[in-house]
Structure 1
Amino acid sequence: MERIMPIDLERPELRKRIRGYDPTAVDRLIHGAAKTLQELLFENSALREELERLRADSDRAKLQEETLKDVLVLAQRAADETRATAQKQAEAVVEEARQAAMSERMATQQKLSETRWEIERLRLERSRYAEEFRALLERHQRELSQMVPLTIVEGEASSA
């Protein structure tokens, strides 16, 4: 049977009889209207259920979207904090290396200064030693020149 439209109820094509409309036509119209109304109620119910399901899906999707946004914001914050921490650590390592290099440089300069002093001390000591040795040689030379030459007497040499 064809679906009954609102116009079919507003302008029914019912034959009149002596006591009113044809009962069979009225029954068919009422039956068709009831069937159409029942179909529309089922369809309306199904559409409402579909609408509720779609709203629930939409709400879940919005909730997931919000959750993802929150997760992305937190991840970005964590990445920024990690980057900042790594930057601070890198700066600390660089500063520590600079301090170590400066300390090493100062130690090296101190050692160089000590070595220069040691070299100068050794030069002075060598110079003093050379002077003392020269003085010793000169003294021995004077003593040798002041010595009386020995003459060997033949008799003494044979008795010895």
Structure 2
Amino acid sequence: MKWTPVDIRQMAFPVGFRGYAPSEVDSFLENLANEIEEILKENAALRERIEDQGQAIAELKKTEGALTNTLLMAQKAIEEMKRNAQKEGDLIIRQAELRAEEITRSAVKEATHLQGEVLNLRRQRDFFVEKIRSLMQNLEKTLQWEDEKADQREEEASL
């Protein structure tokens, strides 16, 4: 039987000739002592359990702190890596832009040079075409002159 404070307060002992019956009082006190002893043991066990759980909580908080610290360090490392990657990307882009500008300048220079060469070759072609025409005209005149001379010789020979 579990005793409550109300049970203890309401406990009535039969009064004997000389007062309360000592055996019942002794029995009650023994039961009460056993209950209190059991309560104290249970209380001690609960305190020990609370202490163990407190230690477990402290360990968990310590672990949580370490994890939080690790997470913060990882976030900082990620941010640093992002910044470095951005810088490296910007540098690569800038180098590519400079290289593209250099290639463009070189291509424009080469195109200008080639246009000059083409123009020069066209002039040379025009010059040689004109020279060949002139030579052909001279050759034609020479051939006509030779024909005329040959005709004259034939006329003189036939006379």
TM-score between the two structures when normalised by the length of structure 2: 0.69
2:101 corresponds to which residue? Answer: 102
Change (3 A) 1:130 1:2: closer
- Note the C-alpha offset of 1:48: 0.7
1:27 corresponds to which residue? Answer: 26
Per-residue CA distance 1:52-102 (angstroms, 9 max, x = gap) = 122122212212322232222122222212222222222222222212211
Q: Of Structure 1 and Structure 2, which has the larger fraction of its residues in helix?
A: 2
Contact 1:4 1:33 in 2 (8 A): no
Which residues in structure 2 correspond to 1:1-160 (within 5 Å)? 1-3=1-3, 5=5, 8=8, 13=13, 15=15, 18=18, 22-130=21-129, 132-133=131-132, 141=141, 149=149, 151=153
Change (3 A) 1:138 1:8: closer
- Bigger drift between 120-129 and 31-40 goes to 120-129
- Note the C-alpha offset of 1:35: 0.8
- Note the C-alpha offset of 1:46: 1.0
Structure-1 separation of matches of 2:125 and 2:2: 134
The alignment covers a number of residue pairs equal to 152
Structure-1 separation of matches of 2:85 and 2:130: 66
Structure-1 separation of matches of 2:2 and 2:91: 86
Structure-2 separation of matches of 1:116 and 1:138: 32
Structure-2 separation of matches of 1:74 and 1:12: 71
Contact 1:14 1:21 in 2 (8 A): yes
Paired amino acid for 2:124: E
Gaps of 5+ in 1: 155-160
Q: How large is the RMSD of aligned CA atoms in angstroms?
A: 3.6
- Bigger drift between 49-58 and 77-86 goes to 77-86
Change (3 A) 1:51 1:14: farther
| Structure of greater relative contact order (alpha carbons < 8 Å, 6+ residues apart) | 1
- Note the C-alpha offset of 1:135: 6.2
- The percentage of aligned residue pairs carrying the same residue is 24
Gaps of 5+ in 2: none
